[in-house]
Amino acid sequence: MTTLAAMIDDFGFLDDWEDRMRYVIELGKALPDLPDSEKTAENKVQGCASQVWLSVSAGDGADPVMTFRGDSDAFIVRGLVAIVLEAYSGKKASEVVAFDALDLFKQIGLLEHLTAQRANGLRSMIQRIREEAARRMV
């Protein structure tokens, strides 16, 4: 997987909207598949037009390190999932709660070009991740 810093740099070189979308699709193709056993109703993100699943695990302690894995049945959304997972996974719960990935999507020039349905799904995914982290903070 590409690091978040590398993704941000790569988007900085892409001026054309179609090139950005191709890159999002490439990121989605590189995302490891979520096992079918984790594609459950419990892991399904509500509010997404396409199917999106999010699997969450957390370490121990009052501010555990969070690990997120996800998948989607749509190419572009799968790429958006890859970006979100890279932004949040491996961070402490307090960092996850404090970081709003929507700002990241604005920074890399994607948010304003997403359809209303995709933008709403993205918001739902980010909200779910931040809620999961908040629940694990003691």
Catalytic residues: 48
Torsion angle, alpha carbons of 34, 37, 40, 44, to 10: -10
Q: Using CA atoms, how far apart are residues 25 and 49, in angstroms rounded to an integer?
A: 17
Q: Using CA atoms, how far apart are residues 112 and 37, in angstroms rounded to an integer?
A: 34
Contact, 43 vs 55, CB < 8 A? yes
Chain-centroid distance of CA 123 in Å reads 10
Q: Using CA atoms, how far apart are residues 16 and 129, in angstroms rounded to an integer?
A: 30
